[in-house]
């Protein structure tokens, strides 16, 4: 009998059509705004018009008198009935000065857009009519929006808990004690004094982030028996549940959080715990009817999705033959008000500094960060969590070193790349596995550098400016508890429940809540590969705390690393049980490995006539649990947790060609090529899509997007006409190539991918632009990269030359 044991494996790596897509292309998706409960009321927030002001009075009487208005809730009422937002569940284990605050502003507003009151009405149009009638009297207070000004003596004090507006400060290098660190810093200083080459620049990255197409939303339902059911657009429903329990002081058995099956993107923006969740929950409990709030784009752009916003004063020392020696960085992050649970804004710049060394070997480093509180919205995580600015600074500096010593930037990168993994960087980041050089060499074989240099020289002779840029980056591939416990006060393990049903189908339950990453499909492919069934024969449920195992959330590329590994582990346990019963039923002394799960059958390899269909054997174990092997009981369901001892990584390298028009500063990306280590691939389409999206997000951040505040703290970019996201016509096609190494720490060799991917984009793009403009000696140290600023630099360089 012909047995194709490898058969089931073909589901791994396939470009399988996604299970999600039939509903999503036909308008049958169920996003938060599509969920309607009987008797549902509609809520609209009244938000602060000022960046810093004392609330001297709120008059809600006119609003209350409006037709259809059910209630108006203010900060004073929230303060009287609900705990503050600074609860232990939401505090990282990092020594920051955490500001206390309430879900609605009390006494003072501290940024433009802060929620001040909530209007609830039976119709959303009426709610908006009434919100206009809420009169808030403000007494303006001095505003500070610049991080350095906020840290300077005499600056307006924003939070009482933070003298001098410093929320967090840390040294990332040299050891745990101040003495060790000082010794280290002195050694770094000695290296700088004797180094052949030192490159020192101040790098500024503007405030930008990854705005999901679906804004946030909350729908809460309350009844006396079951308590609170909260539908929230969220990446971490289980953490949201704990926070609601603690803040609203509701017994845990009476809180259920449901992240809708379909969410319109997250990218980190839906990872924090937001104050709006508390206010809507409170309103539903108070009124006893379902209350729904759907965030407007205006509110979204005012409140969330704002990240980056760092200054990095980076010095790099190197030898004249291109060996990187030491780095010294002084980072300053503009955190806004820091009022957002889980991250409090500063955790992103914290990790950004950790990732500063990137994939290069350094003898020493001196890396320090200060995080300033200002009257801007709190930073919220955005894909490339905290390290887009630091990677920009470093990858630009590497190119500047190369230019100084007359070396090809690609040669300098390869020369300094960590040659062998595992490796721990000077900031203590652990790189578990992979082969950086293999990925790099793959990139170089996909481009023809000498040919490009000839083309470049010929173009210059015609007055055309083309250039190439490289950048690379190691990204976290899921985050182990070792890092997630200190950083976010949460476990890092992946968790999955796998339930086999008597009809031979497989139901998988995950506590994380995806937003477009295709969990249903990749999970089904993994299950299919293990059980030899079709991916169509399984169904994935995510995001409902009532039915899924506890998980930290869809964050930091945890699906391909932690979640599917937990799924695999649970499947393997069940497989073991199935083969145990099979062996018993056939009177065999066989191990699990002696059975093949393929094409919907379970087959004893030594005698393929001994076989059952998958459905037969699982139905027998679940429904007819008699005559079982000794010690075995019926049923087929397992929950497994997967943890890695250390964080894991993936790695990528970028190459691009640009042409700059020196007359206008406009630049065109002519080619973008990458090389990726993504480990073993579950679904190639999904991996490709993650990379495309991340790279274009990076480009859009660098060139187009910017949150702009006036000196008075007024935010000017709260709509899509002013917050400019790249359209299809503004960005290039992307050529992806792969040179992967299976991850040895996951059962399938997979890596989590896509989260940090945008961070190498600004370096690659700006390096290419600077390479193109090297005859002018232009070095870009500030983002965004706009034609207007580039043109001014070219003009100035021309003027200086003549």
Partner 1 sequence: MQTVKITVNGALYEETIPARMLLVDFLRDRLALTGTHVGCTHEGVCGACTIHLDGEAVKSCMMLAVQADGHAVTTVEGLARNQELSVLQKSFREHHGLQCGFCTPGILMNMTDFLARHPNPSDEEIRQGLIGNLCRCTGYVHIVKAVREASKTLASTAG
Partner 2 sequence: MFPAHIEEYVRPTSVADALAANARYEDGEAMFIAGGQSLMQAIKSRMARPRCLIDLQAIEALKGIGFEQGLRIGAMTRYVEIAGDERLRGAYAALRDAAAHVGDRQVRNRGTIGGSCCWNYVASCTPAVVLGLGGTFNLVAASGARRAVPASEFLIGPLETARRPDEMLESVAFAPVAGRAGSAYRKWGLLKDALPVVGVCVQVTLDAAGVCTAARVSLSGLSAGAQMATAGDAALVGSKGEPAALERAFAAIADSADVQADKWASEAYRQQLIRTLGADVAATAFARAVV
Contacts with partner 2, residue ranges (CB under 8 A): 124-125, 128-129, 132, 296, 298, 663-665, 703-704, 706, 708, 716, 721-722, 724, 726-727, 729-730, 786-788, 791-792, 795
- Taking the C-alpha atoms of residue 698 and residue 702, their distance in angstroms, rounded to an integer, is 6
Candidate list 3, 7, 33, 83; residue touching partner 1; CB under 8 A: 33
787 sits near partner 1 (criterion: CB under 8 A): no
Q: Are 72 and 130 in contact (CB under 8 A)?
A: yes
Q: Which listed residue (75, 113, 115, 215) binds partner 1 by CB under 8 A?
A: 215
| Strand pairing class (364-372; 324-334) | parallel
Rule CB under 8 A: is residue 49 a binding residue for partner 1?
no
User: Residue 82 touches which of partner 1, partner 2, none (CB < 5 to 8 A by kind)?
Assistant: none
262 is a site residue for partner 1 (CB under 8 A): yes
598: left (phi over 0), alpha (psi -120 to 50) or beta: beta
Report what 572 binds from partner 2, partner 1, none; CB cut-off 5-8 Å by kind.
Answer: none
Residue number with CB closer to partner 2 (557 or 703): 703
Nearer to partner 2, 128 or 637 (CB): 128
Chosen from partner 1, partner 2, none, partner binding at 695 (C-beta under 5 to 8 Å by type): partner 1
Q: What string marks each residue from 183 to 212 as x (binds partner 1 by CB under 8 A) or -?
A: ---------------------------xxx
- Of 36 and 152, the one with the shorter C-beta distance to partner 1 is 36
For the purposes of burial, counting CB atoms within 10 Å of the CB of 620, is it exposed (0-12), middle (13-18) or buried (19 or more)? buried
Q: CA 308 to CA 387: how far, in whole Å?
A: 8
Structure tokens that stand for 780 in this block: 């870009």
Unique residue bearing structure tokens 């490796």: 423
- Greatest distance between any 2 Cα atoms in the chain: 95
For partner 1, the binding residue among 12, 318, 686, 764 (CB under 8 A) is 686
Q: Taking Cα atoms as reference points, which of 214, 230, 240, 248 lies closest to residue 103?
A: 248
Residue 298 touches partner 1, criterion: CB under 8 A: yes
Nearer to partner 1, 21 or 321 (CB): 21
H/E segment holding residue 597: strand 595-598
Residues in the chain: 802
**Block residue for tokens 């416990």:** 485
Residue (630 or 733) nearer to partner 1, CB: 733
How does DSSP assign 232-281, residue by residue?
E--S-HHHHHHHHHHHHT--GGGEEEE--S--S--TTTTSSBPHHHHHHH
Binder of residue 788, out of partner 1, partner 2, none (CB less than 5 to 8 A by kind): partner 2
38 touching partner 1, by CB under 8 A:
no
Binding of partner 1 by 738 (CB under 8 A): no
Angle (CA) 652 760 422, round 5°: 45
Q: Which value, in Å, is the radius of gyration of the alpha carbons in the chain?
A: 28
- Residue 18 near partner 1 by CB under 8 A: yes
Enumerate the H helices of 71-217 as residue ranges: 75-81, 124-133, 147-151, 178-194
| Shortest CB 724 distance to partner 2, Å | 5
676 binds, among partner 1, partner 2, none (CB under 5 to 8 A by kind): none
Partner whose footprint covers residue 692, from partner 1, partner 2, none (CB < 5 to 8 Å by kind): partner 1
Position 688 contacts partner 1 (CB under 8 A): yes
In DSSP notation, 694-720 reads HHHHHHHHHHT----B-TT--B---ST
Looking only at the bridges linking them, the beta strands covering 611-613 and 601-604 are antiparallel
Report which of 295, 241, 297, 233 is spatially closest to residue 263, judged by C-alpha positions. Answer: 233
- Nearby residues of 729 by Cβ (< 8 Å), 6 or more positions away: none
Site residues for partner 1, 716-735, by CB under 8 A, read 718-721, 725, 727-729, 731, 733-734
Is the distance from CB of 347 to CB of 487 less than 8 angstroms? yes
Binding residues for partner 1 restricted to 486-525, rule: CB under 8 A:
515-518
Angle, helix 347-354 to helix 481-488, in steps of 10 degrees: 140
List the one residue out of 756, 554, 568, 800 whose CA is nearest residue 649.
756
CB of 793 to partner 2, least distance (A): 11
- Note whether 689 binds partner 1 by CB under 8 A: yes
- The residue among 122 and 786 lying less far from partner 2, judged by its C-beta, is 786
Is 27 or 163 the residue whose CB approaches partner 1 more closely?
Answer: 27
d(CA 564, CA 514): 13
Shortest CB 290 distance to partner 2, Å: 20
- Is position 237 an interface residue for partner 1 (rule: CB under 8 A)? no
Q: Which of 1, 2, 6, 27 binds partner 1 (CB under 8 A)?
A: 27
Which residues in the 108-127 window bind partner 1 by CB under 8 A? Answer: 125
Q: Decide: is 267 part of the binding site for partner 1 (CB under 8 A).
A: yes
Residues lying near partner 1 in the complex (CB under 8 A): 15, 17-18, 20-22, 24-31, 33-34, 125, 210-215, 262-265, 267, 294, 296-299, 515-518, 685-686, 688-689, 692-697, 718-721, 725, 727-729, 731, 733-734
């Amino acid at each position: 009998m012909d047995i194709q044991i490898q058969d089931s494996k073909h589901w791994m790596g396939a470009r399988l059509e996604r299970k999600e897509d039939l509903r999503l292309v036909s308008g049958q998706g169920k996003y938060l705004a599509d969920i309607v409960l009987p008797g549902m009321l509609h809520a609209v927030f009244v938000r602060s018009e000022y960046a810093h002001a004392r609330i001297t009075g709120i008059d809600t009487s006119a609003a209350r008198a409006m037709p259809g208005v059910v209630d108006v809730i203010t900060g004073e009422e929230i303060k009287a009935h609900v705990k503050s937002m600074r609860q232990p569940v939401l505090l990282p284990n990092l020594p920051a000065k955490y500001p206390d605050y309430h879900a609605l502003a009390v006494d003072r507003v501290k940024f433009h857009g802060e929620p001040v009151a909530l209007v609830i009405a039976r119709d959303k149009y009426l709610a908006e009519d009434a919100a206009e009638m809420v009169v808030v009297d403000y007494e303006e207070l001095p505003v500070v929006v610049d991080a350095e000004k906020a840290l300077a003596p005499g600056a307006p004090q924003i939070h009482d808990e933070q003298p001098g507006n410093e929320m967090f400060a840390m040294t990332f290098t040299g050891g745990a004690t101040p003495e060790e660190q000082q010794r280290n810093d002195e050694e770094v200083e000695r290296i700088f004094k004797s180094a052949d080459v030192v490159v020192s620049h101040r790098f500024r990255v503007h405030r930008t982030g990854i705005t999901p197409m679906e804004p946030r939303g909350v729908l809460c339902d309350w009844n006396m028996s079951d308590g609170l059911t909260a539908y929230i657009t969220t990446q971490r429903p289980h953490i949201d549940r704990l926070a609601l329990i603690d803040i609203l002081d509701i017994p845990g058995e009476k809180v259920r959080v449901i992240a809708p099956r379909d969410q319109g993107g997250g990218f980190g923006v839906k990872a924090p715990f937001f104050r709006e969740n508390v206010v809507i929950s409170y309103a539903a409990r108070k009124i006893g009817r379902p209350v729904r709030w759907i965030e407007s784009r205006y509110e979204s752009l005012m409140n969330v999705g704002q990240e980056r916003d760092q200054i990095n004063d980076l010095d790099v020392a190197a030898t004249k033959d291109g060996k990187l020696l030491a780095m010294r960085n002084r980072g300053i992050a503009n955190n806004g008000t820091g009022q957002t649970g889980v991250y409090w804004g500063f955790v992103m710049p914290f990790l950004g500094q950790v990732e500063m060394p990137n994939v290069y070997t350094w003898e020493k480093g001196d890396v320090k960060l200060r995080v300033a509180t200002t009257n801007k919205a709190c930073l919220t995580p955005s894909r490339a969590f905290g390290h887009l600015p630091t990677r920009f600074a470093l990858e630009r500096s590497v190119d500047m070193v190369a230019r100084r010593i007359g070396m090809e930037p690609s040669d300098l990168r390869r020369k300094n790349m960590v040659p062998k993994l595992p490796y721990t960087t000077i900031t203590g980041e652990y790189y578990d596995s992979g082969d950086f050089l293999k990925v790099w060499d793959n990139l170089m074989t996909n481009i023809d550098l000498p040919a490009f240099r000839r083309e470049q020289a010929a173009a210059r002779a015609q007055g055309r400016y083309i250039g190439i840029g490289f950048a690379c980056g190691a990204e976290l591939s899921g985050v182990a508890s070792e890092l997630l416990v200190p950083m976010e006060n949460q476990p890092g393990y992946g968790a999955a429940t796998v339930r086999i049903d008597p009809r031979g189908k497989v139901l998988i339950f995950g506590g994380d809540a995806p937003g477009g990453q295709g969990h249903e499909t990749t999970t089904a492919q993994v299950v299919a590969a293990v059980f030899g069934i079709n991916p169509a024969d399984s169904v994935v449920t995510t995001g409902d705390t009532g039915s899924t195992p506890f998980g930290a959330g869809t964050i930091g590329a945890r699906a391909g690393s932690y979640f599917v590994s937990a799924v695999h582990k649970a499947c393997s346990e069940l497989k073991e049980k199935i083969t145990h019963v099979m062996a018993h039923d056939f009177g065999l002394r066989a191990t699990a490995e002696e059975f093949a799960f393929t094409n919907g059958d379970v087959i004893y390899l030594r005698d393929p006539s001994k076989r059952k269909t998958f459905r037969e054997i699982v139905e027998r174990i679940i429904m007819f649990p008699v005559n079982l092997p000794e010690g075995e009981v019926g049923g087929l369901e397992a929950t497994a947790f997967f943890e890695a001892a250390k964080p894991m990584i993936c790695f990528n390298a970028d190459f691009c060609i640009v042409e700059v028009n020196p007359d206008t500063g406009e630049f065109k990306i002519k080619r973008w090529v990458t090389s990726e280590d993504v480990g073993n691939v579950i679904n190639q389409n999904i991996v490709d899509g993650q990379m495309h999206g991340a790279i274009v997000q990076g480009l859009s951040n660098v060139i187009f997007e910017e949150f702009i505040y006036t000196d008075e703290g007024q935010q000017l970019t709260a709509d899509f006409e002013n917050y400019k996201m790249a359209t299809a016509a503004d960005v290039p096609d992307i050529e992806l190539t792969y040179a992967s190494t299976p991850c040895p720490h996951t059962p399938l060799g997979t890596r989590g991918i896509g989260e940090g991917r945008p961070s190498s984009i600004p370096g690659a793009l700006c390096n290419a632009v600077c390479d193109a403009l090297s005859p002018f000696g232009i070095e870009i140290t500030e983002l965004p990269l706009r034609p207007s600023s580039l043109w001014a630099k070219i003009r100035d360089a021309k003027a200086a030359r003549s």
